[in-house]
């Protein structure tokens, strides 16, 4: 893992100067590595490329019975989304020899800042430490190019970033050539310096202003071929690791914005209830440290000198609430609605001659909250507003905030702050909008933070859903596989929806015709679900019902639940056919990359080894994001393991070993990819075994991490291995969410085999409530004072 290679890279084939001649343009040209970029006018060298570069050309012929994602998936759609607009991302070479790039995406822990720096370092031939990647503030002109989601970042930015960097390197070579009185193609670069054969060496910094242009010019470049990669594909540690481990990495609430005092909101007991009025306003305003109180649509906001004082004030508030549309509802009543909305199967349930597997699964509400609760700083004045927040779709936040504040978009400045995790949570701008409303109402800058208790109760939920699967077999053959997924409505108002409407026309004709008739959710579903098996006639359909919840995706949208249902059905089919689960999967697998991943985990995980009673292996695969993941686990469901005690915790079955194989296409940073796989696994594990929210009388019972059982160290598999596959392709795939579905499914399959019972409700512990719900009025718990009793 060394910074940079010291051998020179030659320029042959790389310096096509513009000189009026137009070089073959982009992907439509014969050479897939030749593109057009720009040099922008300015005092130092600034180069640019269109963010829409890199769209894959024709996607090949349509096979007879493909599922849509095989030809065109969500990644393509997000990548294509920007085609009609011309939008530039820029690379600046500064006079100190460093390169600066503003990433129009949000870092929430997925490592895209590091992988972007790697891509730039590669193409610029500059050491990683000289590449500075920051997060771009809201840029309205980028429209929907500024959306971080669907694990799409690397897929869509890979080519444009390389083009801008290649243009920069080429301009530096030209500037050096002019200075040395030679031709650019006689020069080469070594780690941030242009050198010639005579031993002359000029650092990039010295060339930056020479290389700058007075005017905008168009330049053709050829990108570095894969064989020459020296940075891409090597393991690089996170560029911000040191800041993170020394406490220097700042999140929204760590920022010191003048006058932005701690602010919290007293929220209703019911999910999406509304405040009517605060009855004891005077009393609250007199409390220690409290400066302002204001009613906003989501509750009663209070601003004070410390968050501790905000909590005290909230606990004293006497509020009249409108309980909203969900009062009286509970898990069962919502489930009933879902069951009623399930779409019918095409194959009748009593087929002649054939044998049938008919399974139904239920997936409970889950909270997508990150460890950093929703937080945002807002400073709203008469004529302008400035916001600081972790946001994945900052442009939409800017639009929404401007509208709510009654301002024009250019009066609102939105700064993107690195987020403490997102998992889909920060696709929405709930926190930024709320902070802006409060700041406007109080006439003061505010630092808004949600209490932890607010998150599972009022925050974004992964919707409750059911998945029915019916498969028919005849003479050892699977003839049909139908899946009907029915979900509480998933909110796509973060922009993905708009992307779809504006992009449908761009999709290949057959796909476009098909998608044109579908709504947002159905479209997303259709674009993401794909079974990698030959199962005869396959249909996977989605129906959504019930708009009353605050929902969103959660490190994936439908895939984990769909995958759990489908893979458990695969195991059931195998059982009925008297086949081994691995054997059946390999037999029916219709994709070589998937097959390779399954084989890799089976071999490394020693599939089929003898295990004691109460323990079992499980294997599952998920294909999405231009790649796939396969997971093998071993689970221990023996009573002495299941019943082990940890204070205030859920223990239950223990996964003792996990082996994950990931095919993510061209891998930029294998270390980062491994981290994503491990993290995705922890999510999948929690989805199947431990984490859910319970709805009772319109209220979610969970209020903190001692109620909402996300994976903890005592649940983590002591043995965990990630295998990174090398599929020999030129395009990177997505990684952020890829492992969740296959992990959740592998654990479910292993659990079913260990216990002899196929679980039908997830997580499996949902029906046991193992905690006493915290109070709803007041809505936040008191902080304990006995902390010194627990020192160690």
Partner 1 sequence: MPKQTFVLNGERVTVKVADSERVLWVLRDLLGVTGPKYGCGINVCKACTSHINGKAFNPCSVKVGDLQPDDEITTIEGLADTADGDLHPMQEAWIDRDVPQCGYCQPGQIMAAVALVRKVQREGGTITESDLDGIRNICRCGTYTRIREAVRQGARRM
Out of 150, 459, 560, 680, the residue judged to bind partner 1 by CB under 8 A: 680
Give the nearer residue to ligand FES in terms of CB position, either 120 or 417.
417
Closest contact distance (angstroms) between CB of 691 and ligand FES is 15
State yes or no: residue 243 binds ligand FES (CB under 6 A).
Answer: no
Closest contact distance (angstroms) between CB of 255 and partner 1 is 9
693 vs 708: CA distance, rounded Å: 7
State yes or no: residue 420 binds partner 1 (CB under 8 A).
Answer: yes
Out of 421, 459, 560, 779, the residue judged to bind ligand FES by CB under 6 A: 421
Number of residues that bind ligand FES (CB under 6 A): 4
42 vs 53: CA distance, rounded Å: 23
State yes or no: residue 247 binds partner 1 (CB under 8 A).
Answer: yes
Query: DSSP states of 154-210 as a string?
Result: HHHHHHHHHHHHHHHHHHHHHHHHHHHTS-GGG-EEETTEEE-TTS-EEEHHHHHHH
Pairing state between β 461-462 and 319-322: unpaired
Q: Is the dihedral of CA 273, 278, 284, 285 positive or negative?
A: positive
Q: How many CA atoms lie within 13 A of 130 on its CB side?
A: 22
Query: DSSP states of 458-492 as a string?
Result: HS-EEPPEEEEEEEEEETTEEEEEEEEEEEEPPP-
Between residue 345 and residue 404, which ones bind ligand FES under the rule CB under 6 A? 371
Closest contact distance (angstroms) between CB of 307 and ligand FES is 10
Contact between 324 and 270 (Cβ < 8 Å):
yes
12 contact choice in partner 1, ligand FES, none (CB below 5 to 8 Å, kind-dependent): none
Cα 665 to chain center, whole Å? 17
State yes or no: residue 643 binds partner 1 (CB under 8 A).
Answer: no
Element (H, E) at 681: helix 670-689
Closest contact distance (angstroms) between CB of 661 and partner 1 is 16
What x-and-dash track marks residues 183-202 binding partner 1 by CB under 8 A? Answer: --------------------
Contact between 432 and 376 (Cβ < 8 Å):
yes
State yes or no: residue 421 binds partner 1 (CB under 8 A).
Answer: yes
Number of residues that bind partner 1 (CB under 8 A): 77
213 vs 61: CA distance, rounded Å: 44
Out of 648, 728, 768, 772, the residue judged to bind partner 1 by CB under 8 A: 648
State yes or no: residue 638 binds partner 1 (CB under 8 A).
Answer: no
State yes or no: residue 776 binds partner 1 (CB under 8 A).
Answer: no
Between residue 90 and residue 109, which ones bind partner 1 under the rule CB under 8 A? 107-109
State yes or no: residue 792 binds partner 1 (CB under 8 A).
Answer: yes
Give the nearer residue to ligand FES in terms of CB position, either 65 or 241.
241
State yes or no: residue 237 binds partner 1 (CB under 8 A).
Answer: yes
Closest-CA residue to 748 (of 620, 600, 589) = 620
Candidates 69-77, 186-194, 328-336, 677-685; binding stretch for partner 1 (CB under 8 A) = 677-685
475 contact choice in ligand FES, partner 1, none (CB below 5 to 8 Å, kind-dependent): none
State yes or no: residue 513 binds partner 1 (CB under 8 A).
Answer: no
State yes or no: residue 129 binds partner 1 (CB under 8 A).
Answer: no
344 contact choice in partner 1, ligand FES, none (CB below 5 to 8 Å, kind-dependent): none
Contact between 754 and 614 (Cβ < 8 Å):
yes
State yes or no: residue 276 binds ligand FES (CB under 6 A).
Answer: no
**Alpha helix (H) residue ranges in 342-429:** 394-405
Closest contact distance (angstroms) between CB of 714 and partner 1 is 4
Closest contact distance (angstroms) between CB of 420 and ligand FES is 6
Give the nearer residue to ligand FES in terms of CB position, either 109 or 741.
109
Let me know how many helices (H) and strands (E) the chain has, helices first: 21, 32
Candidates 126-134, 157-165, 198-206, 304-312; binding stretch for partner 1 (CB under 8 A) = 304-312
Closest-CA residue to 240 (of 681, 721, 672) = 672
Closest contact distance (angstroms) between CB of 371 and ligand FES is 4
State yes or no: residue 109 binds ligand FES (CB under 6 A).
Answer: yes
Closest contact distance (angstroms) between CB of 71 and ligand FES is 36
- Three-class secondary structure of residue 295 per DSSP: strand
Which position's Cβ is nearest ligand FES?
371
Closest-CA residue to 681 (of 629, 638, 758) = 629
Pairing state between β 299-304 and 261-266: antiparallel
What x-and-dash track marks residues 254-273 binding partner 1 by CB under 8 A? Answer: x-x-----x-----------
Query: DSSP states of 126-161 as a string?
Result: --GGGEEEEE----GGGGGGS---TT-HHHHHHHHH
Binding residues for ligand FES, rule: CB under 6 A, are 109, 371, 420-421
């Amino acid at each position: 893992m060394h910074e940079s290679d010291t051998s020179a890279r030659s320029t042959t084939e790389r310096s096509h100067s513009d000189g009026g001649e137009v070089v073959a343009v982009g992907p439509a040209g014969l050479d897939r590595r030749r593109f057009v970029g720009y040099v922008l006018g300015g005092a130092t060298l600034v180069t640019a490329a269109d963010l829409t570069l890199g769209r894959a050309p024709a996607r090949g012929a349509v096979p007879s019975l493909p599922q849509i994602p095989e030809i065109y998936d969500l990644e393509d759609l997000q990548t294509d989304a920007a085609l009609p607009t011309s939008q530039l991302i820029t690379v600046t070479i500064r006079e100190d020899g460093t390169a600066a790039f503003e990433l129009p995406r949000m870092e929430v822990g997925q490592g895209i800042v590091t992988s972007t720096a790697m891509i730039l370092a590669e193409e610029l031939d500059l050491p990683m430490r000289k590449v500075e990647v920051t997060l771009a503030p809201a840029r309205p002109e980028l429209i929907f190019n500024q959306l971080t989601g669907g694990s799409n970042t690397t897929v869509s930015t890979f080519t444009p970033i390389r083009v801008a960097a290649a243009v920069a390197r080429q301009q530096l070579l030209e500037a050096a050539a002019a200075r040395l009185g030679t031709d650019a193609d006689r020069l080469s670069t070594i780690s941030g310096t242009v050198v010639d054969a005579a031993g002359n060496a000029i650092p990039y910094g010295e060339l930056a202003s020479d290389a700058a242009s007075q005017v905008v010019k168009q330049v053709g470049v050829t990108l570095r071929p894969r064989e020459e990669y020296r940075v891409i594909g090597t393991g690089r540690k996170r560029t911000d690791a040191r800041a993170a481990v020394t406490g220097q990495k700042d999140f929204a609430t760590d920022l010191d914005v003048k006058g932005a005092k701690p602010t919290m909101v007293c929220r209703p007991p019911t999910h999406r209830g509304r405040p009517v009025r605060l009855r004891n306003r005077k009393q609250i305003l007199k409390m220690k440290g409290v400066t302002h109180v204001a009613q906003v649509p989501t509750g009663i906001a209070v601003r004070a000198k410390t968050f501790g004082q905000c909590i005290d004030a909230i606990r004293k508030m006497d509020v009249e609430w409108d309980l909203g549309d969900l009062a009286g509802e509970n898990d069962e009543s919502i489930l009933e609605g879902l069951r009623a909305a399930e779409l019918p199967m095409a194959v009748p349930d009593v087929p002649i001659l054939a044998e049938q597997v008919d399974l139904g699964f239920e997936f409970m509400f889950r909270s997508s909250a990150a460890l950093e609760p929703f937080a945002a700083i807002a400073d709203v004045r008469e004529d302008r507003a400035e916001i600081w927040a972790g946001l994945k779709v900052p442009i939409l936040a800017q639009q929404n905030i401007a509208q709510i504040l009654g301002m024009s978009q250019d009066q609102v400045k939105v700064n993107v702050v690195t987020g403490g995790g997102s998992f889909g949570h920060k696709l929405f701008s709930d926190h930024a909008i709320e902070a802006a409303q409060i700041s406007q109402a109080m006439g003061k800058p505010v630092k808004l933070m949600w209490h932890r208790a607010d998150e599972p109760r009022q925050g974004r939920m992964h919707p409750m859903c059911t998945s029915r699967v019916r498969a028919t077999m005849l003479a050892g053959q699977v003839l049909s596989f139908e899946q009907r997924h029915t979900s509480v409505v998933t909110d796509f108002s973060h922009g993905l929806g708009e992307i779809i409407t504006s992009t449908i026309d761009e999709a290949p004709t057959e796909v476009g015709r098909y998608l044109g008739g579908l709504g947002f959710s159905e479209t997303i579903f259709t674009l993401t679900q794909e079974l990698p098996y030959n199962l005869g006639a396959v249909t996977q359909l989605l129906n959504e019902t019930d708009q009353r919840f605050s929902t969103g995706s959660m490190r994936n949208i439908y895939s984990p639940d769909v995958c759990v249902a489908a893979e458990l059905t695969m195991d059931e089919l195998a059982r009925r056919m008297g086949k081994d689960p691995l054997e059946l999967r390999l037999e029916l697998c219709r994709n070589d990359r998937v097959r390779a991943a399954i084989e890799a985990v089976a071999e490394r995980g020693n599939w089929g080894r003898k295990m004691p009673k109460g323990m079992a292996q499980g294997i599952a695969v998920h294909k999405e994001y231009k790649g796939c993941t396969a997971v093998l686990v071993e689970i221990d469901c023996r009573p002495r393991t299941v019943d082990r005690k940890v204070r205030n915790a859920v223990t239950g079955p223990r996964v003792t070993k996990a082996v994950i194989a990931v095919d993510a296409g061209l891998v930029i940073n294998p270390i980062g990819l491994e981290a994503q796989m491990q993290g995705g696994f922890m999510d999948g594990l929690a989805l199947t075994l431990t984490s859910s929210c319970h709805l009772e009388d319109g209220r979610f019972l969970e209020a903190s991490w001692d109620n909402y059982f996300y994976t903890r160290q005592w649940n983590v598999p002591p043995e965990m291995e990630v295998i990174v596959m090398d599929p020999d392709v030129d395009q990177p795939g997505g990684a952020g969410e890829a492992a969740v579905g296959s992990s959740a499914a592998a654990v479910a399959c292993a659990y079913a085999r260990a216990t002899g019972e196929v679980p039908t409700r997830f997580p499996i512990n949902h029906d046991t409530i193992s905690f006493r719900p915290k109070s709803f009025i007041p809505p936040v718990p008191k902080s304990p004072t006995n902390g010194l009793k627990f020192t160690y």
